[in-house]
Structure 1
């Protein structure tokens, strides 16, 4: 895996990548520089009780956090759809196999097919 996430100590990590080889479209750089990654990681770390409780951020910060998290989630959803195209077209995997791995349910083949169709649209084929 070219992008490297290294746990350095305790609750710290370092992310390294080659901009030309690992991020030719600049998605990683924008996610880091534009706070998308930070807000998404914050959302991952938040407990359900903390999310349902009294907010600690003001309205503007809460909107920014939701916007950045949703933006990164949408981008990841598109990238996952492209990966499904690769799994099907390049590796020749069955819909069942992909569904079993992605959704832990081999019967969710129609969900995989929708992802596949979406991925093909994003690729332009």
Structure 2
């Protein structure tokens, strides 16, 4: 994998990549505007932190905005990857559903992702 995330010690990690691994600049932008940090903080939030937040309103809005923005980018990328799995690798709807959702019955969800991916690709 060209982008690497290494846990260095304790609660620390290091992310490295080459310029060609971030052709659209999403990694750099997500780091520079702190979206990645906000989203990771949201990911690591405890249940108590989710139920009884202590952050300021502005901070909470920034965190929610960053998390939603990155989720949208990742959702779009996942849809394009489903197109690649189907068209390039020839995988069945069932196999993709098992790997994405741990549920072979979610083939219609995979088909919806496929259609969304085709729209994002402009095909």
Q: TM-score, normalised by structure 1?
A: 0.96
Q: Which runs of 4+ in 1 moved over 4 A?
A: none
Partner of 1:100: 98
CA deviation map 1:81-115 (0-9, x unaligned) = 01101100000000000000100000100000000
Equivalent in the alignment of 2:44: 45
Structure 1: distance between partners of 2:28 and 2:122: 24
Match of 2:29 in 1: 30
5+ residue gaps, structure 1, are none
- What number of residue pairs does the alignment pair up? 123
1:6 aligns with 2:6: yes
TM-score by length of 2: 0.97
Gaps of 5+ in 2: none
Aligned Cα root-mean-square deviation (Å): 0.7
Question: Could you tell me how far 1:49 is from its partner in structure 2?
Answer: 2.2
Structure 2 SS opposite 1:13: strand
- Which SS does the other structure have where 1:114 is aligned? helix
Residue 56 of structure 1, CA deviation: 1.6
Q: How does 1:80-91 map to 2 (within 5 A)?
A: 80-91=78-89
Deviations 1:59-79 (A, max 9, x none): 111111100110000000000
Residue 31 of structure 1, CA deviation = 1.0
